[in-house]
Amino acid sequence: MSFMRSPDLQHAFEVGDVVEAFCDHEKGSDRIRGWLKGIVVQVDNKMVAVQFRGNVFLTDGWMVPDRILWYPTNSEQIRPATKKVKE
């Protein structure tokens, strides 16, 4: 019997990780598409849930605001957050 092997993951996310996710979100009074910081709140074998402080949107069609988005664990639209160094 053959089994599928698990996908190679670039990043292994854990609950509490600060990440950046590429999504539609509000900036001021405008809706933009770009990278936004959030926190991983749930992880399973296939998906990662990211919670944001502001409204985020699933699609650019019918844009229903939410605070949590789900991403596949191997998605290129989620990455560890970069830390800015204070000068």
Phi-psi region at 16: left, alpha or beta (left = phi > 0; alpha = psi -120 to 50): left
Contacts of 42 (CB under 8 A, 6+ apart): 15, 48, 49
pLDDT in tens, the chain (87 residues): 555 555 555 568 999 999 999 998 888 888 889 999 999 999 998 999 999 998 888 765 566 778 899 999 989 999 999 876 554
DSSP 4: P
User: Do 19 and 77 touch, CB atoms closer than 8 A?
Assistant: no
pLDDT at 50: 95
Taking the whole predicted model, whether its pTM rises above 0.85 is answered as no
DSSP 45: S
